């Protein structure tokens, strides 16, 4: 199909195409592989059985530059003689709706390449006699449209069970009225085999309650907030339309609150553009088929929710009929932290759940409202993710996303690129900083060597855009309770990049580069000292972020450190409840600065507390994932945002006491110095490194 001529027409039914191909096998099979990818999403079946466990595949990338394919072992799905492969295509981020997020961002024009979903694949069968059969995707395939009438990563899916075609992906099916497939141009990206964990169902969650706030409406409480989909057994009369809506919260009257998870703040008529819903909430629709029964689980979307509203159903559903299916890139969950404090444990579990919910092939800022791979959030939490999971291959993929997204003239905010470019260097510097953490934690030197020339070009761009060194544009310390200028946080990130590049140049035996980046680092440090330490800082500024930044980046000398610590603690004491008021970056810095230069006990006292502002306050208010803001929000702000999850890094670093030594990447040598606050009885902490497992229990 061609794309609709008008934006409003995109919102009409647009059934997902289903492709099939029958083939015969003759001989004993030694091995059989399916290699497949798509622009968009795909689901592949062999003889009616799903090939592999991947969901929302392939991973989101700049489809015009790079597309990852998956390889499945399908030997156990094949039969002697006749077989059939089926492929269903979903839209994903390749065929988005022209919905205007915030009233202006249309992903169809914001993304570098979009189009109708297409796929490419082949089956390779090797026989024990040495012969081989190859089944390619070509014009001999046939296609028809099936029961998935609509699918969108934000708005959800419409599924009409009355349009199911039984046996369509089984050999012997009568496909005489099906049409022959056509060869189409793909988006142009280089095909590469996926080397990172795929998105899969990683947890099955049972509801804790089902209730009816008013007649014919049911609310399912899953007990925790998470990213994923639902699986539900349904019954009704043929043609009944059952609607599911999803939210992170409920109102005081126990009805569903969708507003913190609405796509792009589209919450009133006209904002989303022609054809868009007045409120772009997460929703699925299932239409009962002729049998009157069905099991529904959406295929090409994902939601963020604790609460699911069901309408159109004629009975109260049973808890046993419903499951929540948590989705995330299946990064190895090999590390763990727990303690004697139930509050600390709840904060850690909420952090873990938030992190996983924001790993749907990119590390996102939030898994509902935007789903974008923001670099600032990555800079703030990269180490926290690494402490919790094996992130090496995932973060390699992330860095490649930045390689594909960048251009030479501006700083961008996300990878893949979605035409946001106002956050500045503190966001795009994730390209350099993530590489450093891959080096520090995994000793990934080969990656640095591969990208070194690109890294130098990035530093040249930074120098062109900010020739004086001061970073005078950007977002700053997002969600700080007081203003923080980009001149502080942005220039600190620039300094960090210069220091990183000096280290990379040393690894590359680039003496000229080492000298250049060393001089740049000195220049930037002096700029920060002059602007934010050697003279009074005028105007309103979050002094917690100010002084913790100066300490974290070593801007002040050892002799000046006590004065900076004193100023920092005065700022903490002046804050509500004597707690932190810092934002996305300042929170990471203040946790480390107070622990390093004063005492981790003071940090523990603040973290292990339920007063506002703080993580304990979130937990006391019922949070099961980490909020975007210190203040509770029931409308604008995400309730599943990783950036304040930097506290989980602190648990591992200071309560577990496990810290890398920058001089010995990959933990060939490391620091083990757990802190034992008087109100904490024990900690159990395990962290896996390339050099082996570290256990810190006390």
Give the model confidence (pLDDT) of 289-334 as tens digits: 999 999 999 999 999 999 999 999 999 999 999 999 999 999 999 9
What's residue 480's pLDDT?
Answer: 98
Specify the 3-state DSSP secondary structure of 624. Answer: coil
Q: Which domain holds residue 535?
A: 336-697
If asked whether residues 391 and 323 sit together in one domain, one would say: no
Residue bearing tokens 């757990």:
674
Q: Are 313 and 284 in contact (CB under 8 A)?
A: no
Three-class DSSP labels, 651-681: HHHHHCCEEECCCCHHHCCEEECCCCCCCCC
- Measured CA to CA, the distance from residue 617 to residue 207 in angstroms comes to 24
**Does residue 66 lie in a domain region?**
yes
Do residue 28 and residue 170 come from a single domain? yes
Pairing of strands 156-160, 283-287: parallel
- Residue 159 maps to a domain: no
Phi, psi of 162 (to 5 degrees): -70, -15
Query: Is residue 592 classed as helix, strand or coil in its secondary structure?
Result: helix
Q: Are residues 135 and 208 in the same domain?
A: no
Mean pLDDT of 90-114: 98
The band of 33, judged by pLDDT with boundaries at 50, 70 and 90, is: very high
Residue where one domain finishes, among candidates 266, 299, 329: 329
Cα 101 from Cα 271, distance rounded (Å): 8
Can you give the pLDDT at residue 125?
A: 98
Question: By the 8 A CB rule, do 580 and 602 touch?
Answer: no
621-675 pLDDT per residue, tens: 999 999 999 999 999 999 999 999 999 999 999 999 999 999 999 999 999 999 9
Q: What per-residue confidence (pLDDT) applies to 73? A: 99
Cα–Cα dist 250/256, whole Å: 5
Measured between alpha carbons, how far is 276 from 281 in angstroms, rounded to an integer? 11
Distance of alpha carbon 315 from alpha carbon 297, whole angstroms: 19
Q: Are 78 and 46 in contact (CB under 8 A)?
A: yes
Bridge partners, residue 49, by sequence: 46
Burial class, 593, CB count within 10 angstroms (exposed 0-12 / middle 13-18 / buried 19+): buried
Q: For 594-602, what is the mean pLDDT?
A: 98
Q: Residue 1: inside a domain, yes or no?
A: no
Is residue 620 over pLDDT 90? yes
Same-domain pairing of 249 and 132: no
Could you say which of 313, 329, 345 is where a domain stops? 329
- What per-residue confidence (pLDDT) applies to 566? 99
Residue-wise pLDDT tens digits, 34-48: 999 999 999 999 999
Half-sphere exposure in the Cβ direction for 401 (13 Å, CA) = 29
Q: Do 171 and 216 belong together in one domain?
A: no
Q: State the Cα–Cα distance between residues 233 and 210, nearest whole angstrom.
A: 15
Query: Looking at residue 554, what is its pLDDT?
Result: 99
Instruction: Please check whether residues 175 and 105 belong to one and the same domain.
Output: yes
CA pair distance 37, 169, nearest whole angstrom: 18
Q: How many CA atoms lie within 13 A of 659 on its CB side?
A: 17
Q: Which of the four pLDDT bands, split at 50, 70 and 90, describes residue 618?
A: very high
CA within 13 Å, CB half, 648: 32
The answer to whether residues 45 and 172 belong to one domain is yes
Pair (315, 341) in one structural domain: no
The answer to whether residue 309 sits within a structural domain is yes
Instruction: Please answer whether residues 208 and 272 qualify as being in contact, where contact means their C-beta atoms are separated by less than 8 angstroms.
Output: no
Separation CA 541–CA 481 (nearest Å)? 10
Q: Could you report the per-residue pLDDT of 124-138, keeping only the tens digit for each?
A: 999 999 999 999 999
Residue 2 clears pLDDT 90, i.e. is over it: no
- What does DSSP assign to residue 239? T
The per-residue pLDDT for 542 is: 98
CB atoms within 10 A of CB 115: 17
**pLDDT by residue (tens digit) across 141-161?**
999 999 999 999 999 999 999
Q: Which of 329, 362, 393 is where one domain is finished?
A: 329
Contacts of 681 (CB under 8 A, 6+ apart): 340
Q: Return the SS3 of 286.
A: strand
Stretch (H or E) spanning 232 = strand 217-235
Task: Report the number of distinct structural domains present in the chain.
Answer: 3
Q: Specify whether 662 is located in the same domain as 689.
A: yes
Looking at residue 1, its pLDDT comes to 80
Query: For the chain, what is the mean pLDDT?
Result: 98
Q: Which residues contact 190 (CB under 8 A, 6 or more apart)?
A: 65, 66, 67
Q: pLDDT tens digits for 538-569? A: 889 999 999 999 999 999 999 999 999 999 99
Query: Does 298 lie in the same domain as 386?
Result: no
| Beta carbons within 8 Å of 445's beta carbon, 6+ residues apart | 439, 507, 665
Q: Are residues 501 and 636 in the same domain?
A: yes
Tens digits of residue pLDDT in 282-296: 999 999 999 999 999
* CATH code, domain carrying 349: 1.50.10.10
| Res 604 pLDDT > 90 | yes
CB 367 within 8 A of CB 640: yes
Q: What is the DSSP string of 576-591?
A: GGG-----TTHHHHHH
158 part of a folded domain: no
Question: pLDDT tens-digit profile of 369-415?
Answer: 999 999 999 999 999 999 999 999 999 999 999 999 999 989 999 99
Are the CB atoms for 96 and 153 separated by under 8 Å? yes
356 and 502 in a single domain? The answer is yes
132 Cβ contact partners less than 8 Å away, ≥ 6 residues apart? 124, 125, 126
User: Could you identify the residue written with the tokens 């898994």?
Assistant: 367
Q: Hey, what's the torsion of the CAs at 203, 209, 213, 215, to 10 degrees?
A: 90
Whether 155 maps to a domain, the answer reads no
Cross-strand partners of 129: none
Domain containing 238 — which CATH number? 2.60.120.260
Let me know: does 276 contact 97? Beta carbons within 8 Å. yes
Q: CB atoms < 10 A from the CB of 473, how many?
A: 16
Query: Which residues make Cβ contacts (< 8 Å) with residue 542, sequence separation at least 6?
Result: 477, 480, 481, 482, 483, 484, 571, 581, 582, 583, 586
Q: Indicate whether 112 pLDDT > 90.
A: yes
Is there a domain that residue 53 lies in?
yes
Write down the number of H helices and E strands in the chain: 15, 30
pLDDT for residue 574 is more than 90: yes
Would 133 be classed as within a structural domain? yes
């Amino acid at each position: 199909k061609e794309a609709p001529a008008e934006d409003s027409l995109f919102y009409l039914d647009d059934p997902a195409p289903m492709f099939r191909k029958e083939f015969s096998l003759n001989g004993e099979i030694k091995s059989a592989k399916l290699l497949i990818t798509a622009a968009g999403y795909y689901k592949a079946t062999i003889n009616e059985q799903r090939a592999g466990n991947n969901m929302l595949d392939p991973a989101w990338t700049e489809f015009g530059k790079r597309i990852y394919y998956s390889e499945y072992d399908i030997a156990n799905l094949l039969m002697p003689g006749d077989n059939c492969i089926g492929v269903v295509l979903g839209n994903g981020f390749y065929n988005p709706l022209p919905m205007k997020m915030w009233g202006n961002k249309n992903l169809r024009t914001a993304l570098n390449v979009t189009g109708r979903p297409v796929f490419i694949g082949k089956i390779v069968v090797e026989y024990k006699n040495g012969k081989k059969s190859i089944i390619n995707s070509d014009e001999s395939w046939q296609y028809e449209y099936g029961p998935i009438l609509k699918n969108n990563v934000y708005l959800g899916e419409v599924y009409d069970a009355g349009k199911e075609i039984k046996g369509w992906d089984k050999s012997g099916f009568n496909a005489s009225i099906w049409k022959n497939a056509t060869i189409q141009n793909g988006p142009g990206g280089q095909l590469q085999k996926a080397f990172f964990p795929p998105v899969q169902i990683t947890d099955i969650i049972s509801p804790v309650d089902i209730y009816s706030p008013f007649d014919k409406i049911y609310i399912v409480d899953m007990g925790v907030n998470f990213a994923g989909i639902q699986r539900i057994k349904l019954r009704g009369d043929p043609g009944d339309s059952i609607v599911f809506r999803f939210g992170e919260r409920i109102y005081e009257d126990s009805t569903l609150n969708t507003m913190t998870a609405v796509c792009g703040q589209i919450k009133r008529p006209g904002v989303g553009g022609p054809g868009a819903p007045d409120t772009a909430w997460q929703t699925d629709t299932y239409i009962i088929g002729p049998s009157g029964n069905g099991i529904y689980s959406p295929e090409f979307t994902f939601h963020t929710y604790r609460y699911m509203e069901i309408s159109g159903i004629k009975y109260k559903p049973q808890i046993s009929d419903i499951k929540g299916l948590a989705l995330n890139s299946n990064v190895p969950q090999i590390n763990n932290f727990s303690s004697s404090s139930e509050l600390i444990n709840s904060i850690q579990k909420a952090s873990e759940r938030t992190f996983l919910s924001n790993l749907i092939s990119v590390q996102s800022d939030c898994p509902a409202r935007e789903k974008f791979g923001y670099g600032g959030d990555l800079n703030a939490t990269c180490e926290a993710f690494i402490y919790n999971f094996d992130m090496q291959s995932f973060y390699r993929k992330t860095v490649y996303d930045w390689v594909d997204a960048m251009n030479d003239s501006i700083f961008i905010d996300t990878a893949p690129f979605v035409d946001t470019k106002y956050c500045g260097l503190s966001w795009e510097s994730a390209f350099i900083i993530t590489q450093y953490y891959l080096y520090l934690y995994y000793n990934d030197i080969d990656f640095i060597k591969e990208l070194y020339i690109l890294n130098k070009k990035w530093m040249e761009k930074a120098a062109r855009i900010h020739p004086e060194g001061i970073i005078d544009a950007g977002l700053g310390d997002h969600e700080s309770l007081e203003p923080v200028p980009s001149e502080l946080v942005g220039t600190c990130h620039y300094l960090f990049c210069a220091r990183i590049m000096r280290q990379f140049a040393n690894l590359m035996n680039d003496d000229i580069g080492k000298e250049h980046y060393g001089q740049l680092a000195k220049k930037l440090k002096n700029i920060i000292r002059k602007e934010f330490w050697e003279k009074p800082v005028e105007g309103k500024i979050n002094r917690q972020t100010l002084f913790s930044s100066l300490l974290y980046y070593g801007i002040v000398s050892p002799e000046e450190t006590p004065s900076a610590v004193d100023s920092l603690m005065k700022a903490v004491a002046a804050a509500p409840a004597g707690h932190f008021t810092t934002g996305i970056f300042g929170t990471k810095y203040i946790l480390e600065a107070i622990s390093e230069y004063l005492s981790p006990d003071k940090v523990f006292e603040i973290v292990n507390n339920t007063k506002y502002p703080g993580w304990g306050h979130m937990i006391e208010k019922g949070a099961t994932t980490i909020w975007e803001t210190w203040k509770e929000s029931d409308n604008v702000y995400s309730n599943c945002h990783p950036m304040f999850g930097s506290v989980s890094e602190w648990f591992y670093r200071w309560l577990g006491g496990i810290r890398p030594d920058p001089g010995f990447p990959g933990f060939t040598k490391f620091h083990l110095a757990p802190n034992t606050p008087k109100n904490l009885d024990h900690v159990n902490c395990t962290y896996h490194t390339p050099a082996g497992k570290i256990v810190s229990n006390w």
